[in-house]
Structure 1
Amino acid sequence: MHALWSCPKLNDTWKVHFGQLKADTVHCTSFLKVIDRALLVTTSFGLFAMVVSAIWMWHNKVHLGEMALPLGQIPSSTYDAFQEFQQLRPTHATISRTARAVRWRLPPETCVKVNFDGAVFSRDGLAGIGIIIRNEQGLVMAALSQQIPLPTSVEMVEVLAACRALVFAKELGFDRVIVEGDSTNTITSINGGHMDHLALGHVLLDIKRLFSCFSHISVKYINREGNCVAHKLARRATNYPFLVWMESVSPDILEVYQLDLLRMQ
């Protein structure tokens, strides 16, 4: 409640777009009650959710001593991102149904969802791995962007990304995980389907061994549109060899992450 809403430092941040809500919730004692009230009276709950996310990211960066967007800029930056999303939002019913079908979805309670992706930078002889771990509320637990030498095939990049995702989740102590990637061949191979390339075998074997580190694990396919954050993190590795974020993502990834939150509405 204090970190996201009642702290005096946040008054100006919230009053830009939600001054009336701030006044209406002066007697609320929990943030869940603030959310309930926002659902009733706020016409732009998506914008409200984006501001909440930006404030949470700001707290984490300040706590870790990282460069953070000034609080005074949060209202304008989140509003711009929200407006862009509104312009991109499909209006035709069929298109909307398709968008909902491929959106990122929350994992069940007690589980985290680990999304991974790979990217190839052929000109530089490099590849990138992107991983994001989110909890049952959609909040970021951790994210990773890593540069690796270019393997012999695109399929190997994806399999290595899947393996790194499991190692990353294990390193952070997560016990119940749902792993998602947007390569059909990779997901089929991990789940025991026909293996077209024997060169992938040793990595797939490592993945199978990692399964025993978790009390619950499932590996699923997700369309690229639902895997955008991991994709952006993988592409980011072209300039940075290795970066990890705890309970946050880099500022240039934040907008894509917030769009995932909006699509959950």
Structure 2
Amino acid sequence: MTFIDLLGTVFAENREPALFSMVVWALWTRWNHLRAGENTGTLDHLLQQARDRLRDFLHHNTARIQPVGHPPTSWQPPGPSQYKINVDGVLFMSNSSAGLGVVIRNEHGQVMVSLSKRTPLPSIVIEVEALAARRGLELAVEMGFKNIVLESDSQVLITALWDNSYSLASFGHMVKDIQFIAYQLSSISYTHVRRQCNTLTRSLARRAKSVSQFQVWIKEVPPNSSSILRADIFGLL
């Protein structure tokens, strides 16, 4: 049995997938420490450490969804010491591809990193939104951000992430990927917003049509998105 087979069995048969994710992450971390010549604990204690970390994670973290009837009308910053990831996806039917847009900002509205990525056209529209969310969380992990608010204008995606209704969804495997990555964070919440609150990431997603694979900007956005960023900041004043 390959690791992919094992992973599929764990999730399909609901064999404590959250604990399994913690164990895999603990093994991966231990391996990296060993490669770096750092001190690590014994394997005898790894399972209990994974259980303790999962218990702490579940105690301190709950996924929250913005009430559907009262979403904000402009972009809002995250709480203190948090980073907000806004994500969006668009379809390019003419060349059978899709664009993903991601921007991560801090509590002051400052851009930490932004991304445009082109990807093959998924089979259904919601998969584009899920791909953008997954890439946004991956980027947060790569940058070392641990306290996250993931925000999207896709109510279907946010609801699936919020109430664990992904198991029977056609894009369920992508939701599982997102939640697997989320286990690597210290805290995460999910919020739904109106599309006008997500215009910056939409511009980044549209920009992906002109890139070969992806582009990343550190602490800035591309020039053609600067006016949208300024509008978001002005809306906070």
Scaled by the length of structure 2, what TM-score is found?
Answer: 0.67
Which entry has the higher C-alpha Rg, 1 or 2? 1
Gaps of 5+ in 2: 1-70
Partners of 1:197 and 1:104 in 2: how far apart?
32
Q: Quick one: higher RCO (CA 8 Å, sep 6+), 1 or 2? A: 2
Q: How does 1:21-36 map to 2 (within 5 A)?
A: none
- Partner of 1:142, secondary structure, is strand
Q: Give the corresponding residue for 2:232.
A: 260
The answer to whether the 8 Å contact 2:166/2:176 transfers is no
1:207 aligns to 2:155 (yes or no): no
Q: Which residue identity is paired with 1:242?
A: F
The answer to whether the 8 Å contact 2:86/2:104 transfers is yes
The answer to whether the 8 Å contact 2:72/2:194 transfers is no
1:250 aligns to 2:216 (yes or no): no
Partners of 1:140 and 1:237 in 2: how far apart?
19
Q: Give the corresponding residue for 1:164.
A: 135
Q: Which residue identity is paired with 2:126?
A: E
Moved over 4 A (4+): none
Distance change in 2, residues 1:176/1:159 (3 Å): same
Gaps of 5+ in 1: 1-99
Scaled by the length of structure 1, what TM-score is found?
Answer: 0.60
Q: Give the corresponding residue for 2:162.
A: 191
- Partner of 1:164, secondary structure, is helix
1:145 aligns to 2:116 (yes or no): yes
CA RMSD of aligned residues (A): 1.5
Q: How far apart are residue 193 of structure 1 and its match?
A: 5.0
- Partner of 2:104, secondary structure, is strand
The answer to whether the 8 Å contact 2:72/2:193 transfers is no
Q: How far apart are residue 203 of structure 1 and its match?
A: 1.0
Q: Give the corresponding residue for 1:220.
A: 191
Q: Which residue identity is paired with 1:129?
A: L
Q: Which residue identity is paired with 1:121?
A: F
Q: Give the corresponding residue for 2:102.
A: 131
- Partner of 1:202, secondary structure, is helix
Q: Which residue identity is paired with 1:157?
A: V
